[in-house]
Each structure stands twice: as structure tokens, then as C-alpha cells.
Amino acid sequence: MSDLPDDLLLEARGGLPDDLRYLVETYPRDDWQQHHNVHGMASFWLQRHDMFRDLGGILTGAISDYREGRSDARQFASFFAPRLNHFLGNLDGHHNVEDQHYFPVFARVEPRLKRGFDILDSDHHLIHDALERNAQTANDFLRAMQESEDRQRFAADAYAGENERLVAMLKRHLDDEEDLIIPLILDRGDRELGG
């Protein structure tokens, strides 16, 4: 359970609190790609996050195609399963590296952002729980492919709901994480942050 106030929990907040946005005000998102420190760690971070956004969109599109009859159960299962496994495994691994390595280093370098890293860490726990629910409903759905069409539709709807929730959580988290971390990298550079 998180010690954060309810308004800072992932599914309740609309962004980072103002007191954690001082670096993103100095280094606005529109200027990131032109900054001399964007190459290296910042660029890699943004690429990974874009990959997660893309994969989330691909999974959402695949389930929509199945539910709308644009793909049959066999086509869907063969397309969906490996991409879901890739998405879930990479996201969990990415969060573990952040929690174990990057967030503690970043918080030491810029102590005023520690609360922001605590928020992101709390997000990771909520996202991890959502990943587990997502995997379970996906497995239920894939098993239902051998059952009646009604059972398949019910399982598809259950998975679609979990997927929509996870993708929404992930979008908020990735945006907030970038607003905290990318300006810090631009400000301090890779070397000071251990990149």
C-alpha cells in the first residue's frame, strides 16, 4: 500500500505536482530534441518509452480487431501472445532497473526530486499489479479460444478492460516520468547521473 496522498496516486493524478516541475519548466518538452545532452541516456529513455506506448497501442488495436471481427481467434492468438509477452516482460524489467539503479542515483543527485521518485516507485507497484491482472485476463482469453463464441467474447471484453486500464496508467506514468527525468538528464548530463 502506498503512503502517497490519494490525489498523487497514478489513476487519480493529472500530472506531477507543481513543486516537482521546476526542471521541466526550465527544459520544456518541445526543446528536448535540440538539447546537447539529449543523446545517450535521455534518448535511450525516450526510445524505450515510445516502444512501450507503441506496443500498448498495438495490443489495443489487436484486441479491437478481434472484437470487431477483423481477425479470427486463430489469427488473433498467434499475433497477440508473443507481443503481449514481449510487452509485459520488457516493461517489468525496465521498471526493475529504474527502481534498483536509476531512481536512487537520481534522487541523490537532485534531492528536491526525491518525492517525485517516490511517486514513480509507487506507480511501478500499481503497474506491476496491473501487469499481473493483464497477464491473467490475457491467459484466460487465450484459453477461451477453445470454448464457445460467447465465452470468447466475454473473455475478450474482460481482457480489453484490463488492457485499457493498463495503457491509461502507463501513459500517465510515462509522461510524468519523462517530465521528471529527462529535464534532470538534460540539466546534469549522463556522466553526473551515472549513464
Give me the CATH number covering residue 148: 1.20.120
Under a CB-based contact definition with an 8 Å cutoff, are residues 32 and 38 in contact?
yes
* pTM of the predicted model as reported, rounded to 2 decimal places: 0.91
| Residue 149, pLDDT score | 84
Question: Distance (Å, rounded) from C-alpha 48 to C-alpha 153?
Answer: 33
Burial (CB count <10 Å: 0-12, 13-18, 19+), residue 188: middle
Question: Distance (Å, rounded) from C-alpha 163 to C-alpha 181?
Answer: 26
Would 60 be classed as within a structural domain?
Answer: yes
| Residue 2, pLDDT score | 66
Question: Distance (Å, rounded) from C-alpha 44 to C-alpha 54?
Answer: 15
| Residue 35, pLDDT score | 93
Question: Distance (Å, rounded) from C-alpha 140 to C-alpha 167?
Answer: 19
| Residue 88, pLDDT score | 87
Would 3 be classed as within a structural domain?
Answer: no
Using 50 as the pLDDT threshold, list the residues of the chain that sit under it.
none
| Residue 184, pLDDT score | 97
Under a CB-based contact definition with an 8 Å cutoff, are residues 180 and 16 in contact?
yes
| Residue 120, pLDDT score | 96
Instruction: Name the E strands within 149-190.
Output: none
Would 5 be classed as within a structural domain?
Answer: no
Would 114 be classed as within a structural domain?
Answer: yes
Q: Give the residue numbers spanning the domain of 115.
A: 17-193
Under a CB-based contact definition with an 8 Å cutoff, are residues 158 and 1 in contact?
no
Write the CB contacts of 105 (distance below 8 Å, at least 6 apart in sequence): 193, 194
Would 91 be classed as within a structural domain?
Answer: yes
Would 9 be classed as within a structural domain?
Answer: no
Write the CB contacts of 17 (distance below 8 Å, at least 6 apart in sequence): 8
| Residue 156, pLDDT score | 87
Would 185 be classed as within a structural domain?
Answer: yes
Q: How many domains does the chain have?
A: 1
Would 132 be classed as within a structural domain?
Answer: yes
